[in-house]
Amino acid sequence: MSTVELTRFRVPEARADALLAARPAMLRDFESDRAGFLGARLIRLNAEEWLDIVLWNTHEDFAESRRRGANRPGIQAFFEAIAEVISSEEGTDGFEGDA
């Protein structure tokens, strides 16, 4: 079972383009620097709210990623576009075979 990170955040409309431009470099930085990173999906909920769904191999991989924070330029640029974190949750993807 993998660990799922759900982070809801606010980005002013004026910074949405910066967020989207920073996303590919952030994902590359995660792939090269974060053990257990399995992938991510960014969802725009409305004009200023977004949901980032990130899959980790284990809870420990997710915890280590949090400890590292914005330690790479691509990650830092993505985080800088975010004005406010609304919520952050962790769950378990225990449903093998779900689409």
What pLDDT, on a 0 to 100 scale, did the predictor assign at position 97?
Answer: 58
Tokens at 59, concatenated? 């809870």
Within-domain flag for 96: no
- Extended beta strands in the chain, E state: 2-10, 37-44, 49-56, 84-93
CA 28 to chain CA centroid, Å, is 12
CA distance 52 to 2: 16
What pLDDT, on a 0 to 100 scale, did the predictor assign at position 94?
Answer: 76
Within-domain flag for 84: yes
* Number of domains present in the structure of the chain: 1
- Residue 13 is part of a domain; what is its CATH number? 3.30.70.100
Within-domain flag for 98: no
Within-domain flag for 60: yes
Q: Which domain holds residue 32?
A: 2-89
What pLDDT, on a 0 to 100 scale, did the predictor assign at position 95?
Answer: 65
pLDDT tens digits, 17-70: 999 999 999 999 999 999 999 999 999 999 999 999 999 999 999 999 999 999
Within-domain flag for 83: yes
CA distance 36 to 17: 28
What pLDDT, on a 0 to 100 scale, did the predictor assign at position 3?
Answer: 97
Within-domain flag for 85: yes
